[in-house]
Amino acid sequence: MNPVFIAGPCVIESAELLDTVAARLVEINRSAGTDIIFKASFDKANRTSLASYRGPGIDKGLQMLADVKSKWGLRILTDIHEAWQAAPAGEVADVLQIPAFLCRQTDLLVAAARTGKTVNIKKAQFLSGADMRYPYEKALESGAREIWLTERGNIYGYNNLVVDFRNIPDMLGIAKTVVMDCTHSVQRPGAAGGKTGGNREFVPAMALAAKAFGANGFFFEVHPTPDTALSDGPNMLALADFENVVKSLL
């Protein structure tokens, strides 16, 4: 069985960007025999600076994601930041993602679980893999039928992240699907003058290392021109490079 693949731009910038990425994902699905889930955020509520671009908002953003789903036939993943967003997002998305900083927010987990959609819980930068048992149990006891856990590194200050790949087998002892966030794990939080930096050159190796530790899902933020992206450009993978990375993991 192929691993779970999740890919798309960090944030919704335009309908044209969504179409460009979606079209390429459909091509890769056809050539590689995969079923890549399309990811984009309607709101980035945890940007470093107040001046940073956040996205089109929930109403317009969900409509744009619904258009992608209808036009391209791709499953959709998007993240939610507040409990009230779960129900409307669940009308469009197949997977609701809980951001890492919010993975202990009980009301958010409960609301996501109650939609009946798959819930992907990203591991907080301050938690161990074993600690993810508790967010998982909150979602499970609230009715979630399928729960994924995602590794994205740990932060120790000083604008850097460290990935302890032992978290992956630890989380596989909790959930059947453990996703490696291959792009956020190479971030340099707040290291680019009021915004996040990153080292995208390490993304392919992060993915292969995670596979070696048993990860059965892989998350990538991709963009046609990462250096012009409105969010997370330094750690995003160039869309043109994505197919080779996918094939290296199959």
What CATH number corresponds to the domain at position 136? 3.20.20.70
Nearest to 231 by CA among 178, 176, 192, 175: 192
Tell me the backbone φ, ψ of residue 132, rounded to 5 degrees: -75, -5
* pLDDT digit string, tens, across residues 166-219: 999 999 999 999 999 999 888 776 544 554 667 788 999 999 999 999 999 999
pLDDT at 138 over 50: yes
Lowest mean pLDDT segment, chosen from 29-43, 48-62, 109-123: 48-62
198 bridge partner residues: 187
In contact, 154 and 163? CB cutoff 8 Å: yes
- Which helix (H) or strand (E) segment holds residue 37: the answer is strand 37-39
Pick from 44-53, 151-160, 208-217 the range whose average pLDDT is largest: 208-217
Count of domains in the chain? 1
DSSP 72-140: H---EEEE-SSGGGHHHHHTT-SEEEE-GGGTT-HHHHHHHHHTTSEEEEEPPTTS-SGGGHHHHHHHH
pLDDT at 68 over 90: yes
pLDDT at 29 over 70: yes
Structural domain for 11, as ranges: 4-249
Q: How confident is the model at residue 148 (pLDDT cuts 50, 70, 90)?
A: very high
Distance CA 187, CA 161 (A): 7
